Structure 1
Amino acid sequence: MSVMTLKCENLVKQYKDKRALGNVSLTLEKGKIYGLIGRNGAGKTTLLSVLTAQNPATHGTVTLNGQPVWENEASLSHLCFSREINANMNAGGIGALKIKEYLKMAETYMPHWDKEMAEHLLDIFHLDRKKRISKLSKGMTSMVTIIVALASKADFTLLDEPVAGLDVVAREQFYRILLEEYTETGRTFVISTHIIEEAADLFEEVIILHEGKMVLKENTQELLESCVHVSGREEDVDAATAGLTKYREETIGRSKSVTVKLEPGQRVEAADSVSVQPMNLQKIFVAMCGGEV
């Protein structure tokens, strides 16, 4: 039996004079946890919204098991995109709803909704069911979006910055609950986050977006094993890394440091004056996409 897949091909999203996504092709398989990382404005939220048909593509296709997602109820029943509740809605509309009313509304759109799980998560997060959405703190609204994501029971559940505003205890609760749900059900989760290192252990695969383009999609452990930080005297570093794929070369005086991504069979040539150190996911991301995380 083939594995269920959510796939986009040559995806382009254009907003007037701004291209948010440029020819992104990506296949997500059921039964994995993906990490989606990128700088602000990289196109992460746009990608997630187009994959789940909440936003139309300008060009390209999105399919679930070969069937189109756009305006296809059968495909959409397997998808959930849980995103930040828009603060502009808080004065009226959604903001005027109580938490229990908001979840009831979510239930009407989610054919596989698990009401018992939603109630259990409300208790875990100590949320007052009668409190209005407009009166919630940033962390509390994130908890509500997490409840929608998990209780949806959708085969492909995409979460945009789910831990925004959560304290460290609540974040650890979320990671634990997500991992338990994944282990029990085999659902696919895509987590877009800026808190990279904290969530890195969850990610079976990592997807890096930069300026609307996909930089890589790779097994997280294999990526960590293939990237090293090389430093030492400039001429020795250059000799040790000749012909290798390099990112973020920095020179201070006669010293140089560089991030190297090794392909299978490649290695950094050893030298007494050259230091080769492993890297964590956050440092790899910074090296590839530049600037601060």
Structure 2
Amino acid sequence: MNNLVCKDIVKKYGKKEVLNNVNLTLEKGKIYGLIGRNGAGKTTLLSIISAQNPATSGTVSLDDERIWENQKALDKICFSRELNPVMGNGAAGLKIKEYLKIAAMYFPNWDNEMALNLVKEFELNVKDRIVKLSKGMMSMVTIIVAMASKAEYTFLDEPVSGLDVVMREYFYKLLLAEYTESGRTFVISTHIIEEAADVFEEVIIISDGKILLKENTQELISKAFRVSGKAEDVDAVTLGLRLHQVEITGRGKGVTVILEDGQKIRGGFDVSIQPLNLQNVFLAFCGKGEKG
């Protein structure tokens, strides 16, 4: 099945637990959105499932083979990390062309023609050093490595950070075109949720080192609603439902509900029922509102 499977992943730095018993299966041929607040564990999770960082306990396997120190499996995985000018691995001092040359040596299916075309599309000067690049330019280099790697499983950490709206739109079109042509699996970690929602086939929400949900994006959105009105009416129509983001103002009340199979919001009361987008759903799970 070519699935990438995380089983009981725990990651600790000293006494601080960053990932708590994470179980996750990534299926081949899907685009996943990985969303969570700062410090939720997104980058740590991606670094572990790409074998750039060892788990404290638990296993990651591809085709039922553990990936750690397994070059055959690692050849199929690319984690193109967010770049920054103070990287401690020496990459900051490299020129773009040097950085891409190293990437070409690391990934056996590297597409140099694609890399050169993207350098031209992004209008990058390959003689510029990483440390001198703007935030957006660093994101462009990250995207080039991810796309040109041709890895079956490709992870991008904040790929549109610093990009303007035109270049973000170009990235999403590029991603969809490559996905359609190759059938590769992509995991995109991003804070810019709503504009990417239509790209994600499935969404993974992580909070405090735990996976809260992994669901088809459109199915999740289709069962998410904001219900508001008089408190007694809202309580009546949502009786028995799991509530998120409970807000009470005077006699009024607003709640977010994510319906489960067979559930529905009752009728017969004067309440407002509004559908939600993916960002609203994320806030329902990870925002600061009270739980019901």
TM-score in same-fold range (> 0.5): yes
Which residue identity is paired with 1:62? V
Deviation at 1:95, TM superposition (A): 2.1
- Are 2:15 and 1:17 equivalent residues in the alignment? yes
Deviation at 1:265, TM superposition (A): 1.6
Partner Cα distance (1:185, 1:170) in 2: 22
TM-score (norm 1): 0.97
- Which one of the candidate residues 54, 57, 65 is aligned to 2:55? 57
Deviation at 1:240, TM superposition (A): 0.5
**Residues 157 and 190, structure 2, Cα contact 8 Å, conserved in 1:** yes
**2:190 corresponds to:** 193
Deviation at 1:96, TM superposition (A): 2.1
Alpha-carbon displacement from aligned partner over 1:150-178 (angstroms, at most 9, x marks no partner):
00000000000001111111101100001
Which residue identity is paired with 1:49? S
- Which one of the candidate residues 267, 282, 285 is aligned to 2:282? 285
Deviation at 1:128, TM superposition (A): 0.7
SS of aligned partner of 2:206: strand
Partner Cα distance (1:85, 1:208) in 2: 23
- Are 2:89 and 1:107 equivalent residues in the alignment? no
Deviation at 1:17, TM superposition (A): 1.7
**2:28 corresponds to:** 30
- Which one of the candidate residues 218, 232, 247 is aligned to 1:235? 232
- Which one of the candidate residues 105, 127, 133 is aligned to 1:136? 133
- Are 2:211 and 1:214 equivalent residues in the alignment? yes
Deviation at 1:89, TM superposition (A): 3.2
**2:169 corresponds to:** 172
SS of aligned partner of 1:128: coil
Partner Cα distance (2:34, 2:188) in 1: 6
Which residue identity is paired with 1:71? E
- Are 2:276 and 1:275 equivalent residues in the alignment? no
Deviation at 1:275, TM superposition (A): 1.0
Partner Cα distance (2:6, 2:48) in 1: 9
Partner Cα distance (2:143, 2:208) in 1: 27
Partner Cα distance (1:58, 1:209) in 2: 18
- Superposed counterparts of 1:90-129, under 5 Å: 93-129=90-126
Deviation at 1:94, TM superposition (A): 1.7
Partner Cα distance (2:176, 2:26) in 1: 18
Partner Cα distance (1:24, 1:134) in 2: 35
Partner Cα distance (2:259, 2:188) in 1: 26
**2:37 corresponds to:** 39
Deviation at 1:63, TM superposition (A): 0.2
Deviation at 1:88, TM superposition (A): 1.4
**Residues 85 and 132, structure 2, Cα contact 8 Å, conserved in 1:** no
**Residues 7 and 23, structure 2, Cα contact 8 Å, conserved in 1:** yes
SS of aligned partner of 2:244: strand
**Residues 233 and 269, structure 2, Cα contact 8 Å, conserved in 1:** no
Partner Cα distance (2:104, 2:37) in 1: 32
The count of corresponding residues between Structure 1 and Structure 2 is 289
Deviation at 1:66, TM superposition (A): 0.5
- Which one of the candidate residues 66, 69, 78 is aligned to 1:68? 66
Q: Which stretches in structure 1 are left out of the alignment for 5+ residues? A: none
Partner Cα distance (1:255, 1:223) in 2: 27
**Residues 236 and 271, structure 1, Cα contact 8 Å, conserved in 2:** no
Partner Cα distance (2:283, 2:43) in 1: 19
Which residue identity is paired with 1:70? W
Which residue identity is paired with 2:102? M
TM-score (norm 2): 0.97
CA RMSD of aligned residues (A): 1.2
Change beyond 3 A, Cα 1:87–1:271: farther
Partner Cα distance (1:291, 1:30) in 2: 34
Higher mean C-alpha deviation, range 98-107 or range 267-276: 267-276
